[in-house]
Chains A and B, each alone.
Chain A
C-alpha cells in the first residue's frame, strides 16, 4: 500500500524560503514612472518618418510590405483623390486571396476560390450605392443598410464586393452586419415582428407579449413561423417604451400592445393582411 509520507520538513523549508523572499527588493519596474533603458541596438521600434516639411515620408508604395519576409506589415493608403482604396495585407494560409495593388495601379483582384461557391449577384445597384457613399469604409453601416434595401437581404457576395471596394476587411463588415438586429443575411421573409426585452419593457409585461407571440407564431426568437410568413426577433427600445412593451412590426412601432392583441397581430400577419387594418 503506497502510504504518502506525512509532509515533513521540506514543506516547511519551502514556506520559509518563500517568506524570506518577501523581504527581498521587488523586481517589477513601475513602467510609467520608471522607463527601462533601451539598448542602442534595439530593432523593435516601427517609426513612420516625417520629412522637414512635416508631411509623412511614406507614400504607400508597399515596397516594405512586399519585402517583409514574414509578411507581417499590413498597410492601407489613400491615393491622391483621397479615396481609401489601396490595401496590402498578409496572405492568409495557402489559398487565401490578396488584393494586388502594387505601385498604386488599380489591379484586378486575383480570383479567390473560397468565394466561388456563392451565387453571383448583379453588382450594379451595389456599385451605385458605393459611388454615392464615396467608397468610404467609415460609411459601412449606411452602405449595408442601403444594400439590404436594394437586395432585400445581405448576400455574402455583396459583402465581399463592399470589402474589396472600400478596403474594409470582410470580417469587419461581417461583424458590423451581425451586430445590428435589423440587418440579416437570410433572404427576406414576409414580416418581421420584434419585441423589446429591456428591463423597462419586461416590467411592463414584455415577457407575456413575447410568450404570446412564441405560442401563436409557433417559433422561438430568431426563428421563422412554420408557414414562413413571419419572423420573430428582439430589439431594444432605447428606453422609450412608454407605458406598454415596445412591439415593432416591419420597422414601425405598434402603440399600446399587450398579450391579447399579440395573438391578433400574429394571426393578421400570417394571413398577410397589410399593417393598416391591424388593431
Chain B
C-alpha cells in the first residue's frame, strides 16, 4: 500500500522547509550582485522611484488599506477579550484566566483554534457563494476604517465624501450575511439571512438620518474636517448640540452591528446560530471577527461625529505654554541644555525609580511573585515603557500621540458600553424591533434634522 517515495519525500519536514529557502536566498543574492555590478540595478531602482512618485496616491491608498486591515486584527482580539472579561464580571464569574496573565491571550487562543479547525463545506451547499460570504462581510466592515481620522495626521484616506463612503462600504456587510444565509442548505440560516436583510435596511435609514444633524452643523462630509470643528474643550463637541441625534445614532448602531438587544441575525436561542449555522473553522472566524470589528467601527464613528474624535477633553496648549513648553512640541526645538544639572539625573535616576515603582506594584497586587521576580519583571516593563514613549514621541509630534490616546480611549469606552449591554439585556423580538425603528427612530431623526436646519437658519439670518 505504501507508494514509492522519491528523494524529496525522504527529507524530514524541517528539511522540506529549509531546502527551498536556501535555494531562494542563493538565487536572490547572486541576481542582486550581478544587477548591482552591471549598473542595471541602479537604473531599475530609479525607475521604480519615479513611477512611485508619479502615482503616490495609489501607493498611499494601498498602504493605508493594508495598515487598516492589519490594525483590525489586534483590535478585534482586544474587543473579544473585553467582552469575555466584562460579561464574566457582570455574571459574578472570573472569566478566562488560564492563558496568559489574567487570561489576556484567551482571544488569541480562540483565533488560533478557529484557524486550526477544518472549514467543512456541507453537501448541497452553493459552494462559490458559501465560500465568498465571509470575505464580503469581513472586507465590507474593515474597509470602512479607511476614512476614520485616528490622529491629526493619521487618516487612512482623506476623502471629501468620507461619511458617504463609510455608509456605502458598511452596508455591503449585509449582502455577505444574506449570501451566507441563502447559500448554506439550512432553513435556520435562511431565516437568519432574511432577518438580516429586513432589519438592517430598516435601521440603516435612522443611522444615516441621525448623522444629518452633524453634517448640517459641520457643513462638510469630510470626517477629518468634522473632527477639526470640534477642537477645543469638551463643550464644543457635537454631542451637546445634537443630543437626540446621538441617541438615535447609538441605538441604530447597536442594531447595525447586530448586538443585543437587537441580536436578531445570530439569535442563538432561536435560530441556533443564525446565518453562521453551517460555518466552521476560519470561515466562521471571519464572521466572528467581522461582528467585533463592526462594533469597533461604529463606536469609532460615534466618537468621530459626536464626541470630538481625537480631541481631548481640555485643550492642553494653554497650560503647556504656561509652564514654558511652547506647542506643538517638536523634538527638534526641545533644547536639552536648558535642563542644566538635571540633564545628568535623567539617565541615572529615571530607570531605577521606574523599575522600583513597577516592581512594588507587581509585588503588592498579590500576584504571588517573590520580590526578586517582580523586580526583574518590573525592570523589563520599565524599559519597555520608556522605549515606547520615547519612540512614539520621536516618530510623531506631541499632539499626534495625545490624539491616538484620546481616540482609542473614547472608542474602547463605547465598545465597553456595547459589551455591557450584551451582558444585561434580553433580546427584542424582530417585529417589535422593526416597529420601533419605523415608528420611533425615523420620526425622531427627521424631527432632529428639521430642528437643526431651522436653528441654523435662525442663527445665520437673524442673529449674526
* A interface, CB within 8 angstroms of B: 3-4, 6, 11, 14-15, 17-19, 21-22, 24-28, 30, 237-243, 246, 248, 251, 253, 255
Point out the residues of chain B lying under 8 angstroms from A240, CB to CB: 2-5, 9
Proximity string of chain B (93-113) to chain A, C-beta cutoff 8 Å, 1 when within and 0 when not: 110010000000000000000
Q: What residue in chain A is nearest B426 (Cβ atoms)?
A: A14
Contact A30 B94 (CB under 8 A): yes
Contact A26 B2 (CB under 8 A): no
Q: What residue in chain B is nearest A27 (Cβ atoms)?
A: B92
Contact A242 B425 (CB under 8 A): no
> SS class of chain B's interface: helix, strand, loop or mixed?
helix
Contact B439 A3 (CB under 8 A): yes
CA of A6 to CA of B97 in the docked complex: distance in angstroms? 39
**Which residue of A14, A25, A27, A30 contacts B424 across the interface (Cβ within 8 Å)?**
A14
Point out the residues of chain B lying under 8 angstroms from A30, CB to CB: 94, 97
Contact A4 B3 (CB under 8 A): no
Contact B93 A27 (CB under 8 A): yes
Taking the complex as formed, is B89 at the interface, i.e. its CB lies under 8 A from any CB of chain A? Answer: yes
Contact B3 A253 (CB under 8 A): yes
Smallest distance from the beta carbon of A248 to chain B beta carbons, Å? 8
Contact B92 A241 (CB under 8 A): no
Proximity string of chain B (412-442) to chain A, C-beta cutoff 8 Å, 1 when within and 0 when not: 0000000011011100000010011001100
* B interface, CB within 8 angstroms of A: 1-6, 8-9, 86, 88-94, 97, 420-421, 423-425, 432, 435-436, 439-440
CA of A248 to CA of B86 in the docked complex: distance in angstroms? 56
CA of A6 to CA of B247 in the docked complex: distance in angstroms? 12
Contact A4 B435 (CB under 8 A): yes
A-B contact pairs, 10 of them (CB 8 A): A4-B436, A4-B439, A14-B424, A24-B92, A26-B89, A26-B92, A242-B4, A243-B6, A246-B3, A251-B1
CA of A21 to CA of B89 in the docked complex: distance in angstroms? 7
> SS class of chain A's interface: helix, strand, loop or mixed?
loop
CA of A11 to CA of B377 in the docked complex: distance in angstroms? 44
Point out the residues of chain B lying under 8 angstroms from A15, CB to CB: 420-421, 424-425
CA of A238 to CA of B1 in the docked complex: distance in angstroms? 10
CA of A37 to CA of B423 in the docked complex: distance in angstroms? 31
**Which residue of A6, A21, A238 contacts B90 across the interface (Cβ within 8 Å)?**
A21
Contact A18 B423 (CB under 8 A): yes
Smallest distance from the beta carbon of B272 to chain A beta carbons, Å? 26
Contact A21 B420 (CB under 8 A): no
CA of A4 to CA of B434 in the docked complex: distance in angstroms? 11
Q: What residue in chain B is nearest A254 (Cβ atoms)?
A: B3
Which 10 A-B residue pairings sit nearest by Cβ, starting from the closest?
A: A240-B3, A18-B424, A22-B89, A242-B6, A28-B94, A18-B90, A26-B94, A27-B92, A15-B424, A253-B3
Point out the residues of chain B lying under 8 angstroms from A251, CB to CB: 1
Q: What residue in chain A is nearest B5 (Cβ atoms)?
A: A240
Point out the residues of chain B lying under 8 angstroms from A6, CB to CB: 440
CA of A119 to CA of B290 in the docked complex: distance in angstroms? 56
Contact A242 B9 (CB under 8 A): yes
Point out the residues of chain B lying under 8 angstroms from A239, CB to CB: 9
Q: What residue in chain A is nearest B436 (Cβ atoms)?
A: A4
Known: A28-B93, A246-B3. A4 touches B420 (CB 8 A): no
Q: What residue in chain B is nearest A28 (Cβ atoms)?
A: B94
Contact B6 A18 (CB under 8 A): no
Contact B432 A4 (CB under 8 A): yes
Q: What residue in chain B is nearest A200 (Cβ atoms)?
A: B9
Contact B93 A241 (CB under 8 A): no
Smallest distance from the beta carbon of A206 to chain B beta carbons, Å? 13
Q: What residue in chain B is nearest A3 (Cβ atoms)?
A: B439
Q: Which of B3, B6, B93, B439 has the most chain A CB atoms closer than 10 A to its own CB?
A: B3
Point out the residues of chain B lying under 8 angstroms from A14, CB to CB: 424-425
Contact A21 B2 (CB under 8 A): no
Q: What residue in chain B is nearest A14 (Cβ atoms)?
A: B424
CA of A14 to CA of B90 in the docked complex: distance in angstroms? 12
CA of A30 to CA of B9 in the docked complex: distance in angstroms? 48
Q: What residue in chain A is nearest B1 (Cβ atoms)?
A: A251
Q: What residue in chain A is nearest B423 (Cβ atoms)?
A: A18
Smallest distance from the beta carbon of A235 to chain B beta carbons, Å? 9
Smallest distance from the beta carbon of A269 to chain B beta carbons, Å? 19
Point out the residues of chain A lying under 8 angstroms from B89, CB to CB: 21-22, 26
Q: What residue in chain B is nearest A21 (Cβ atoms)?
A: B90
Smallest distance from the beta carbon of B208 to chain A beta carbons, Å? 21
Q: What residue in chain B is nearest A240 (Cβ atoms)?
A: B3
Contact A22 B90 (CB under 8 A): yes
Contact A18 B420 (CB under 8 A): yes
Smallest distance from the beta carbon of A131 to chain B beta carbons, Å? 27
Q: What residue in chain B is nearest A246 (Cβ atoms)?
A: B3
Known: A4-B435, A15-B420. A242 touches B1 (CB 8 A): no
Point out the residues of chain B lying under 8 angstroms from A238, CB to CB: 2-3
Q: What residue in chain B is nearest A2 (Cβ atoms)?
A: B435
Known: A15-B421, A240-B3. A22 touches B86 (CB 8 A): yes
Q: What residue in chain B is nearest A255 (Cβ atoms)?
A: B4
Smallest distance from the beta carbon of A47 to chain B beta carbons, Å? 29
Smallest distance from the beta carbon of B434 to chain A beta carbons, Å? 11
